[in-house]
Amino acid sequence: EDQVTQSPEALRLQEGESSSLNCSYTVSGLRGLFWYRQDPGKGPEFLFTLYSAGEEKEKERLKATLTKKESFLHITAPKPEDSATYLCAVPTGRGGSEKLVFGKGTKLTVNP
């Protein structure tokens, strides 16, 4: 069964304090990996797609990387507005379904 595990469950940082979030996955034939941001009471907001080991994507203070077994979301010099839950998901399923299997997420709090 395809599984996604994220760590830590929660992370508190001071503004400007860089860190990384981890997403490890077990899938039969990786078809990509997605990172989403979720604010309280909102739906997941798409951030990045990673397709193959060694790939990196960047957006403002966020950089996502992918290896054969895990992905990291690096946050450089975070600001309070980066506070959110960050979700990792892999597509799986039959044919063109491409349903997503999500991790439980990392709740990030950035204090000013």
Residue keyed to tokens 């996955």: 25
Toward another protein, which CB reaches closer, 18 or 109? 109
- The CA-CA-CA angle for residues 75, 79, 80, to 5°, reads 120
Q: Which two tokens stand for residue 112?
A: 């000013």
- Interaction between residue 105 and another protein (CB under 8 A): yes
DSSP string across 79-90: -GGG-EEEEEEE
- Interaction between residue 51 and another protein (CB under 8 A): yes
CB atoms within 10 A of CB 101: 17
- Interaction between residue 49 and another protein (CB under 8 A): yes
Single out the segment in contact with another protein by CB under 8 A; choices: 19-27, 39-47, 65-73, 74-82: 39-47
Toward another protein, which CB reaches closer, 5 or 111? 5
Q: What is the rounded CA–CA span in Å between residue 79 and residue 58?
A: 16
- Interaction between residue 100 and another protein (CB under 8 A): yes
Applying CB under 8 A, which residues contact another protein? 31-32, 34, 36, 41-46, 49, 51, 87, 89, 91, 93-105
